[in-house]
Amino acid sequence: MKIKDLINEAESLPVEERVLVVDSLLRSLNPPDSKIDEKWASVAQKRLKEVRSGAVETISGEDVFAKIWNDQAQ
């Protein structure tokens, strides 16, 4: 099977099945590493605690993107 045929066939799949194909291909390129996943989970839990306790100030996504657009315009 040629690569173009494979791509055409994959594109004809329902969205849910395409997601599974894409996920599988991405995992084959970058296999999960449980040690890294644990570190990210630890960082996420720490940050969540900081937000909930008020130790850090949150910024809305809208404000973040407005700043990015303003900085790029200058």
What would the mean pLDDT of 57-70 be, rounded to a whole number?
A: 94
Core vs surface per residue 9-43: b (16+ CB within 10 A) or e = eeeeeeeeeeeeeeeeeeeeeeeeeeeeeeeeeee
Half-sphere exposure of 1 (CA within 13 A, CB side): 8
Grade residue 11 by pLDDT with cuts at 50, 70 and 90. very high
What would the mean pLDDT of 11-33 be, rounded to a whole number?
A: 94
* pTM listed for this prediction: 0.51
Sequence spans of domains, the chain: 1-31, 34-73
The model's pLDDT over 39-59, given as tens digits with 9 standing for 90+, comes to 999 999 999 999 999 999 999
